[in-house]
Amino acid sequence: MTSTRKLNPYQGKLAVLDSGQEDSLKPGQLAEKLSAPLYHSVDKNTQEAFFLIWREGALRLIDRELLTKGGLAVEVEPRKGEQRSWPAPKQGALAQAIGRKTTVVVDATTGWGQDSLALFRMGFQMHCIERSPVMAALLADGFGRLAALEWMHKLQLKPPCLMVGDAIEELHKLTFCPDCVFLDPMFPPKRKKSALAKKSMEILRDLLGEDTDKQSLFAAARQVAGHRVVVKSPTHAEPLGGKPDLSHQSKLLRYDVYFR
Ligand SMILES: C[S@@+](CC[C@H](N)C(=O)[O-])C[C@H]1O[C@@H](n2cnc3c(N)ncnc32)[C@H](O)[C@@H]1O
């Protein structure tokens, strides 16, 4: 086992694993960038719980449970059942909340990029902000894979642009006025371990913890959004900005809309 000597900001939580499958310098460079240790294998003495690894052409985040399985990457292909033509119809609670007249959207809490990518496939112009350098690395890899897809080339589309930093500050640096700012921060779960929570969200919560500065983020979003702020939250959570102007609810989720 080898490791870099720099201090790991993830406090012994995360390391980069060199699988040997990636013949470039990528794993070393990523470890350096994240100030995380670089390992060639994991054994019972390894203290970190999370690992970044290139497997099957994608950068993946794994925990010990996923070590021998695939791992989680930013999924760039349309979801099962989603129309594959571009732009896909603006259907469902998310699209309704974003609004038919909206063109430019800033996703200030991009995470795994699944909301951003669904909106991108519906033809919205997406600008993505993510403050976790780990998630930003996964997103950069995903957006790179998206850019290389045949349909993207055919339609001469560029992937969403990615800004790395805290949206509370980044939103004020925008050089354009977005029609809509979309927020999906992490709320505390109803139960400790929800059987319904997706593995991708569970792993995110375990790695990053709850987003405790949601109110400041909402305030920043309200200041810069041209037409509306949309907040995605679990149904049990209190609305982030008080009573919303509109709310689109599904079984487990709510999209609260605040007009300017
Ligand atoms: C629940 S996840 C978002 C999931 C995302 N909607 C998806 O479809 O995958 C929340 C993400 O927002 C990020 N985040 C929270 N507050 C942020 C802020 N102020 N600036 C930038 N990113 C933030 C967290 O790092 C985390 O990756």
CA gap 53, 40 in Å, rounded: 10
Q: Which stretches in the chain have pLDDT values below 70?
A: 1-9, 11, 22-24, 191-197
Per-residue pLDDT, 192: 59
Distance 74 CA to ligand 1 centre (A): 14
Per-residue pLDDT, 250: 83
Distance 44 CA to ligand 1 centre (A): 31
Q: Give the position, in ligand 1's atom list, of the atom nearest the Cα of 168.
A: 19
Per-residue pLDDT, 1: 43
CA gap 244, 257 in Å, rounded: 6
Tokens of 149: 């897809």
80 C-beta neighbours (distance < 10 Å), count: 5
Identify which of 130, 208, 216, 255 to mutate to test ligand 1's pocket (most ligand atoms within 8 A of the CB).
130
Tell me how many degrees the CA angle 232-238-242 measures, rounded to the nearest 5.
Answer: 90
Residues with CB under 6 A from ligand 1: 108-109, 111-115, 129-132, 135, 166-168, 184-186, 204, 208, 211, 217
194 C-beta neighbours (distance < 10 Å), count: 13
CA dihedral 133, 135, 138, 142 (to 10 degrees): -120
Among residues 168, 157, 171, the alpha carbon closest in space to that of 106 is found at 171
Q: How far is CA 31 from CA 17, 47, 124, 142, in A?
A: 9, 16, 34, 18
Distance 43 CA to ligand 1 centre (A): 31
Identify which of 110, 217, 252 to mutate to test ligand 1's pocket (most ligand atoms within 8 A of the CB).
110
Render 195-234 in DSSP notation, one character per residue. Answer: TTS-HHHHHHHHHH---TTHHHHHHHHHHH-SSEEEEEEE
Protein residue with its CA nearest to atom 9 in ligand 1: 112
Distance 184 CA to ligand 1 centre (A): 6
Q: Provide the percentage of residues in the chain whose pLDDT is more than 90.
A: 72
Could you give the angle at which helices 199-208 and 133-147 cross, rounded to 10 degrees? 140
